[in-house]
Amino acid sequence: MLRSFFNGLYSPAAEAMLLDVTTTVERKYTYNIIYWINNLSLAIGAGIGTYFFETNLIYLFTILAAVSLMLFLVTLFWIKETYFPDNSGLPNKKDKGYIKNYIEVFKDRIFIIFVVSSMLLFSLEAHLTRYIAIKLKDYDFKIFDIQLTGTQLYGNLVLENTICVVFLSILFSKKITKIKRERIPFVSGLVLFVIGYGLIATNLNPFILIIMMFVATLGEILFAPIFQTYLGDLAKKPLRSSYMAINKFANRGSILISTGIIYLVSISSAWVSSLLIWLTGILGAVLLCLLLPHIYARKEIEYSTDKVG
């Protein structure tokens, strides 16, 4: 609970700081690098955790505490503020208050639809650690002559996802950033992502599960960094930290949807849950595609502002 609370304070501010010091052109490259580093760190962390957790737990926590302290000191003493906005003509922040900032964000209809659509879309990925993990646990699988429990197959799917993200990101990141019409990889990635996770959630064939995990991961690599740049383009400069804080509802909402699917399975048939999984993913992707003209219109405005500045 404490981690979630302090992450809720830190994360929106950190994301807003990143937006403040990058232009619309730079964000595409920046988010590609961040996306790759985040997934690489998860892979390294998972490997270290697997090795140390059962036999050297105290060393694991000691290393974790030391790294956290080091990051705190680097942030405190080495990172300097370089962005000083011109607030002349803007309302006094103390008079306006944080609540009014959030009210202004909720009035931004385009951004709220963006948050809802991303919540629906990313619920597909949230199913992997919840609904899909629980469903696979009840089955045994055989791949060629290798016998696997459902838990082992699930672990292999997660490992496949991590490895593919780390290595495919290196192959595709430069090519994606060079594409001028970023709408093409974005929409293609959405389609692959929905099809991949949709079939993973509704299938029990191990070969299809492995292939579809690759498809879903490829889709994620294509659209996720571009999605982050769109998020940055939609956030208006004076209220960026408030925009980023509201966007955190998408993550919590996607977890809530995946948890709701688990409950639904217990009171209804599996095909109803499968249908809802597909519908939420498709609806989220369609809403994002419908928002693209509005996103590009706002992006053009910010690009013009960056050139003037």
> Domain spanning 11-79+108-308 has what CATH number?
1.20.1250.20
pLDDT at 47 over 80: no
- Residue 92's pLDDT is what? 52
Report which of 89, 83, 90, 113 is spatially closest to residue 23, judged by C-alpha positions: 83
Cβ atoms within 10 Å, residue 229 = 24
Contact 272, 264 (CB under 8 A): yes
- Residue 24's pLDDT is what? 67
Mean pLDDT of 208-213: 94
For the chain, which residues make up each domain, given as ranges? 11-79+108-308
Tokens found for residue 126: 């949230």
Phi-psi region of 141 (alpha: psi -120 to 50; beta: other; left: phi over 0): beta
pLDDT at 196 over 90: yes
Using DSSP's 3-state secondary structure scheme, residue 82 falls into: coil
Q: Residue 302 — pLDDT band, cuts 50, 70, 90?
A: low
Tokens found for residue 162: 């991590």
Which pTM does this prediction carry?
A: 0.80
Counting beta carbons within 10 angstroms of the beta carbon of residue 122, is it exposed (0 to 12), middle (13 to 18) or buried (19 or more)?
Answer: buried
Give 90-112 pLDDT, tens digit per residue. 555 554 567 888 889 999 999 99
Mean pLDDT of 242-267: 86
- Residue 118's pLDDT is what? 94
Cβ atoms within 10 Å, residue 118 = 22
CA 281 – CA 286 distance, rounded (Å): 9
- Residue 113's pLDDT is what? 95
Strands 146-149 and 140-143 turn out to be: antiparallel
